[in-house]
Chains A and B, each alone.
Chain A
Amino acid sequence: MQALSDADVKRLETKALAVRGTIIEMLVSAGSGHTAGPLGMADIFAALYFHILRHDPQNPDWAERDRLILSNGHIVPVRYAAMAHAGYFPVEECLTLRKFGTRLQGHPERTKLPGLETTSGPLGSGLSQAAGMAYALRMDGSQSRVYCAMSDGEHDCGNIWEAAMWAGANKLWNLTGIIDRNNIQIDGYTESIMPLEPLKEKYESFGWHVLEVDGHNIPQFIQACGEAAAVFEKPSVIIAHTVPGKGIREIERDYRWHGKPPSKEEAAKFLNELRTMEGKIASEHQ
């Protein structure tokens, strides 16, 4: 990973903005899907696809690529949008999301679209798949890193903790978990549905190196990924505090936007809001 210049930061923020715009457009076209989660992870996915990951959109099966596993498959619009902007497929194809015959299934399917590493959607099993990959890659002496994006709500699942225990026991230093800590799940706020705190201490007690960042501060997130890569003999997890729906004031922090798309009229308003916000997220943490 290279050090970030001011121009790099600007470029990544512009990419995140483009990804947000595409998310809104694809959700309106689909008429169903999740809005808050994908918007909240736009900065992190822009950082991953345009700076952190070693990957080649022209050669998605490149053996030395880093692997990105998306455990909470329902936020896949952010991944599709980032992949399209990175050159895996034309941005226009994003408008086929959730439509009959599309490669962009409602939840991601590895066999449908090159560049997806797994099939996911049912919550709680992505960290296991990522840990299995990390272990197998380490067996072969690979230098690839494995990243696993997860939601906070899916930490209700026992399977995640089975995987966390196993990854810690096996000291998977080539594995980085990324938790979208946006504090919402379908029925309400995570701490009222099933409290996750103290999340940091839980992971630490399972043998992980834990970092906490502002999930909308791209330089901070990139720095954390660098630190995770430098930690040996332990897997790392980055708890990324995000605002669900980030970038659209009406959606931000409202759990009712978890599982619904905007209407056409709302989308026009939201896209206009995005166009006027360039640089705004960055200025919030300066």
Chain B
Amino acid sequence: MLSTQAFLSENIFQKPETAPTRDGFGKGLVEAADSDARVVALCADLSESTRMLEFQKKYPERFVEVGVAEQNLAALASGFAAAGKIPFITSYAAFSPGRNNEQIRTTISLNDVPVKVIGSHAGISVGPDGATHQALEDMALMRVQPNMTVLSPCDSEEARKATIAAAKSDGPIYMRLGREKTPVMTTANTPFEIGKANVLWKAAAPQVAIFATGPLVHNALLAAQQMDGDVAVVVVNIHTIKPLDRETIVREAKGAGSVVTVEEHQIAGGLGSAIAELLAAEAPVPMEFIGVRDQFGQSGDTKELIEHYGMGVSHIVDAAKRVVSRKSQ
């Protein structure tokens, strides 16, 4: 059943409200700027679609247009940070951190300055734009850089909170956002702390722990509800890919004895890999991975792509049942 401590929306299973995670970022950025004059925003010719427009209207003197130049975007922001600012940089994840990976590595992560890299339109769900624009490796790229924190909020409200938390953090941060409207599961009262995972659903004596990140957390909850009374499930929202909440993940994996990871990202290098690295050392249990399997995407609408690439509710249910059956082997 849904955790009461997560203070989730009431209509989470029936017609939930929907909003893109990028909307929550846009709101959070203005709130962060309201309380800290050091916050500046650098944009690569995508102020509307990366939701910097409200910030730009309210704080035009703190908004910086860079043009279609993502390498410059990252290295400029490093300079702003070195001069005492807290820069947020936005583009599509396919270009930032896709195109400017080295500038992020050298001038932000190794240089250890508080630049907040915001990769919007991440994942297969960007849909009709096709494979060129579907970033499926951004978390992997950012996770392997020392000093870098990696956030992947599950909904618009969590993205708002994550943005405010990012502005308060001293270090470099990568946050991935989606383009599409997705269910708003959390509320203003849902706790959010970088590095602290949230249990959203927990049956008595769970048989499988589902660790999910991003908007697919909703599919994980739908899968848990569908299996209710059949397979006992715990669903944990992993909004921080790095640093992982080791304590919660190890505790829930040990408690359930099997694990399914769910992400809209290549399985290689993303959430599933990160959790496998942790559990192999500290609590080895059977695992199944939901995510993209070493393929590029293609044009299509969001729902059909999520189904085609094996990230739908039925895929999560099947993976959960499969991994539970592996426990007895």
Contact = CB atoms under 8 A, between A and B. Distances in A.
Interface of A: 67, 69, 109-111, 117-122, 124-126, 128-137, 139-140, 158-159, 162-163, 165-166
A162 B83 contact: no
B67 A136 contact: no
B83 A132 contact: yes
B79 interface: yes
Given A159-B72, A162-B72, A166-B66, A133 B80 contact: yes
Interface in B212-269: none
A110 B111 contact: yes
Given A125-B103, A131-B76, A162 B71 contact: yes
Contact of B61 (A132, A133, A139): A139
B77 interface: yes
Given A133-B79, A140-B84, A122 B71 contact: no
Interface in B59-96: 61-62, 64, 66-67, 69, 71-72, 74-85, 87
Contact of B80 (A122, A124, A125, A132): A132
A158 B107 CA distance: 16
Contacts of A158: 71
A282 to B, nearest CB: 36
Nearest to A138: B83
B137 to A, nearest CB: 21
Contacts of A132: 75-83, 87
Contacts of B77: 132
B102 to A, nearest CB: 6
A135 B111 contact: no
Nearest to B75: A128
Contact of A159 (B40, B71, B82, B83): B71
A116 B88 CA distance: 24
Interface of B: 40, 61-62, 64, 66-67, 69, 71-72, 74-85, 87, 102-103, 106-107, 110-112
A162 B79 CA distance: 15
Nearest to A157: B71
- Indicate the member of A117, A120, A131, A132 with the most B CB atoms within 10 Å: A132
A211 B57 CA distance: 39
Contacts of B76: 128-129, 131-132, 135, 163, 166
Contact of B111 (A111, A128, A133): A111
B80 A135 contact: yes
A163 B111 contact: no
Contact of A136 (B72, B84, B110): B84
In order of increasing CB-CB distance, the 4 nearest A-B pairs are A132-B79, A128-B75, A136-B83, A162-B72
Given A120-B106, A159-B72, 8 more contacts: A110-B82, A119-B106, A128-B78, A132-B83, A133-B79, A136-B40, A136-B80, A139-B61
13 contacts: A120-B107, A125-B106, A128-B71, A128-B72, A128-B75, A129-B79, A132-B75, A132-B82, A133-B83, A134-B79, A159-B75, A165-B67, A165-B69
A69 B75 CA distance: 12
A286 B152 CA distance: 64
Contact of B103 (A109, A128, A134): A128
A125 B84 contact: no
Given A120-B106, A122-B102, A128-B71, A111 B79 contact: no
A71 to B, nearest CB: 10
B115 to A, nearest CB: 10
A109 B71 contact: no
B69 A117 contact: no
A124 B72 CA distance: 10
Nearest to A130: B79
A166 B69 contact: yes
A166 B67 contact: yes
Given A129-B82, A132-B83, A133-B82, A119 B111 contact: yes
A112 B166 CA distance: 25
